[in-house]
């Protein structure tokens, strides 16, 4: 279904036209998200939770995030989280 719809869009707009539309959507989304982020207080925020199972191993999997907000930018650091696990989480 998706492949047929994509082919239809390519037929209607051509590759360049379709890519221009994709670029416009991505740029508009980035502008809106930056606008939302700029309304949040600057700072560092830390959170932690655990996933109790990855579908393969019954181990607690830590997810630790440090979110840094500066102006209209956000950085998410997951380096203190669990290493990669076998299943999807």
Domain enclosing residue 10, as ranges: 1-38
Q: Are residues 22 and 60 in the same domain?
A: no
Report the predicted TM-score, pTM, of the whole model to 2 decimal places: 0.74
Q: Are residues 46 and 86 in the same domain?
A: yes
Domains: count for the chain: 2
The whole-angstrom separation of Cα 30 and Cα 35 is 8
Q: Is residue 62 scored above 90 in pLDDT? A: yes
Are 17 and 36 in contact, with CB atoms under 8 Å apart? no
For a pLDDT cut of 90, what percent of the chain falls above it?
84
Q: Is residue 68 scored above 90 in pLDDT? A: yes
The whole-angstrom separation of Cα 79 and Cα 88 is 18
**Which pLDDT belongs to residue 25?**
98
Q: Are residues 75 and 47 in the same domain?
A: yes
Lowest-pLDDT choice from 5-9, 29-33, 66-70: 5-9
Backbone CA torsion sign across 50, 52, 55, 61:
positive
Question: CA nearest 27: which of 17, 19, 39?
Answer: 19
Question: pLDDT band at 88, cuts 50/70/90?
Answer: confident
Q: Are residues 5 and 25 in the same domain?
A: yes
Q: Provide mean pLDDT across the span 65-70.
A: 99
């Amino acid at each position: 279904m998706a492949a047929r719809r994509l082919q239809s869009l390519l037929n209607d707009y051509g590759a360049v036209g379709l890519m221009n539309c994709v670029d416009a959507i991505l740029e508009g989304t980035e502008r809106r998200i930056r606008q939302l982020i700029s309304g949040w207080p600057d700072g560092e925020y830390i959170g932690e939770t655990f996933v109790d199972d990855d579908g393969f191993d019954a181990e607690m999997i830590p997810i630790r995030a440090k979110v840094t907000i500066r102006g209209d930018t956000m950085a998410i650091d997951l380096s203190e989280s669990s290493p990669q696990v076998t299943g999807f989480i």
